[in-house]
Chain A
Amino acid sequence: MPAIDFMTVSILYITAIVILLVGYLTAVSSKDIVRLLIALELMFGAVFMSLIPLFSVLPDPAFGVALLTIFASGGELLVLTAAIVIHDRRKKSILTSSVSIGGDNV
């Protein structure tokens, strides 16, 4: 098992930033709700990646945070999946341009 030193932390954080930025870019560049879901999952992947160095100083709270992140993001993504299905039923389209602004109009 490798030790967590400056170089390791740098590699982990740079990779996390790359994943996060690509997630952002994918989110803003697509006209498709499915692509938005994929971008969101990438962003959560970046969060998981950035949690690794925390395990070296606070292992138990880090595991708690990881557990919360995994299940909270899983629930959020499942809600978004249900929203995509409902949106497709209503509008017969999954393009973001067909999404109405605000509230319950998914």
Chain B
Amino acid sequence: MNVEMLLLVALAGVTALSTLGVLLTKDNFYAAMYMTLTLVMVATIYAFFSIEPVFILIVFVFIGAIGIVTVAIAATYRHGPERQFSVFWAIPIVVTAAVLCYSIYTYVLDVPVYTALMTFTTHYSLKFSIENFITTEYLLLLLFMTSLAVLLMLSVVNIYRSEN
């Protein structure tokens, strides 16, 4: 296992742990903070693979706008909600996860399948560049998407104004 793989495993581990933090904390504010950390780590994994445009979009749009609004709302309504399920549900969940892990483990150990998968997915490199993306079709897609987002926001503003 080389250094890059170790770094990826570390990033994925921190992402999974911060996700668990959302589930385990009872305070909405801390849950929102853990959620933001999870999204930052997802964006960091994009940067790790040198896909900087998506990193910038996630950090600025998804975390910078939506995430901060969520943190602000969570800080406003800051109280610990009650759980709707018993902790005893954890037992069947753990059993199911163990069975699934064992099935996947035995499946991967099946040598011909593993070899086929390795030959199929071995060493693709990421060749994305923003220059290739700027074509007429994708610009049209962006235009449609922007129109959709504007319509969506206008309808929300309309609902909000009608409430007042």
Contact = CB atoms under 8 A, between A and B. Distances in A.
Interface of A: 1-9, 11-12, 14-15, 18-19, 22-23, 25-26, 28-32, 34-35, 37-39, 41-42, 44-45, 48-49, 52, 55-57, 59-60, 62-64, 66-68, 70-75, 77-79, 81-82, 84-86, 88-90, 94-95
Given A38-B35, A48-B54, A60-B132, 7 more contacts: A5-B123, A11-B8, A22-B20, A55-B51, A59-B128, A59-B129, A94-B77
B84 interface: yes
Contacts of B136: none
Contact of A71 (B49, B73, B149): B149
Contact of A55 (B49, B130, B152): B49
Contacts of B62: 41, 44, 48, 70, 73-74
A35 B61 CA distance: 20
Contacts of B122: 5-6
Interface of A is mostly: helix
A1 B15 contact: no
A14 to B, nearest CB: 7
Contacts of B99: none
Interface of B is mostly: helix
B110 interface: no
B46 A7 contact: no
19 contacts: A2-B5, A3-B124, A4-B123, A5-B124, A26-B22, A29-B23, A34-B74, A35-B28, A41-B67, A45-B35, A48-B54, A52-B51, A56-B126, A59-B127, A70-B62, A71-B146, A75-B148, A75-B153, A77-B66
Q: How large is the interface on B (under 10, 10 to 19, 20 to 34, 35 or more residues)?
A: 35 or more
Interface of B: 4-5, 8-9, 12, 15-16, 19-20, 22-23, 28, 31-32, 35, 38-39, 42-43, 45-46, 48-51, 53-54, 57-58, 61-62, 65-67, 69-70, 73-74, 77, 79, 81-85, 117-118, 121-130, 132-133, 138, 141-142, 145-146, 148-149, 152-153, 156, 159-160, 163
B12 A12 contact: yes
A29 B45 contact: no
A25 B57 CA distance: 27
